[in-house]
Structure 1
Amino acid sequence: MSDLHIGPASADELGAVLDFWKTAAEGTSISDDLAGVERLHERDPRALLLARRDGELVGTVIAGFDGWRCHLYRLAVHPGHRRRGIGTALLAAAEERFAALGGRRADAMVLDRNERAHPAWEAAGYGPQAQWTRWVKPLG
């Protein structure tokens, strides 16, 4: 995995990230537009982590920290690069970021219907919490 580089996205890469999600991410969100990703980057320029192999964007994860809890969103690996440890490496980088920020617990937004992803999340130690039901309200 030595040819894999993980680091924060730069402002000029945000459009490419949106294009990448159209291919690699399961589903879309109302915040999947340039203005939404720019707000994320402006607020926390180190939250959006990109995985590159030989300069090619092959994976992403948003590792957000609000000062209290750690949140994972948009873990996505290009279909042609899956099952090669990229998702695991992205999660490890996110967890290192959280530890450095003092985070003590991470939660992940994982779609119920994205069943192909569930084993990878479980292998990383994440799992559904029976006592919690996430209720979501789109804003705007």
Structure 2
Amino acid sequence: MTDLRIRAATPDDLDAVLAFWKAAAEGTSISDDRSGVERLVARDPGALLLAERDGELVGTVIAGFDGWRCHLYRLAVRPDQRRQGVGSALLAGAEERFAALGGRRADAMVLNRNELAHHAWHAAGYAPQPQWSRWVKPLAD
């Protein structure tokens, strides 16, 4: 295996990313469609980070920054590549991006039922915040 490469997604990557999420990500979102991901990449070209090994997509994370707080979404690693440093490398890339943008605090959206992810986030230094709950309202079908 060659070294892992972390890079920002381009519009040419979007179909591969959507197919990857169907195979490697737990659950789906109403914004997991081409137009949703196109808007993300157009608005914030550095936000969608990809991990590639031997030219193949093996992981993703969305590292969004709204000017005040840093937000992490869609950390996903191909099942046969898990526990090989892919998620850690993606989070390191996201945190470097946040530091360069002046971000000082990051939060992650993690499904309650995804206990495997809970362990991974904890190992990366993130902790649940029981005093907060996330309230969500879908704005589109």
Identity level (%): 78
What are the equivalent positions in structure 2 for 1:1-140 lying under 5 Å apart? 3-140=3-140
Once superposed, what is the RMSD of the aligned Cα atoms? Answer: 1.0
TM-score after normalising by structure 1: 0.98
- Does the 8 A contact of 2:2 with 2:53 survive in 1? no
TM-score (norm 2): 0.97
What is the aligned residue count? Answer: 140
Q: Distance in 2 between matches of 1:56 and 1:80?
A: 12
1:85-131 per-position Cα deviation (integer Å, ceiling 9, x unaligned): 10011000000000000000000000000111111100111111011
For the residues of structure 2 that align with 1:131 and 1:115, how far apart are their CA atoms? 19
- The runs of 4+ residues in structure 1 deviating greater than 6 Å are none
AA partner of residue 12 (structure 1)? D
CA distance in 2, matches of 1:113, 1:6: 28
1:10-53 deviation per Cα after TM superposition (whole angstroms, max 9, x unaligned): 11101110000001100000000000000000100110000000
Is the 2:2–2:54 Cα contact (8 Å) retained in structure 1? no
Q: State how far apart, in whole Å, the 1-side matches of 2:52 and 2:60 are.
A: 9
| Distance in 1, Cα, partners of 2:130 & 2:21 | 29
Q: Which runs of 5+ in 1 are unaligned?
A: none
Residue ranges of structure 2 left out of the alignment (5+ in a row): none
Aligned mates of 1:82, 1:130 — CA distance in 2: 27
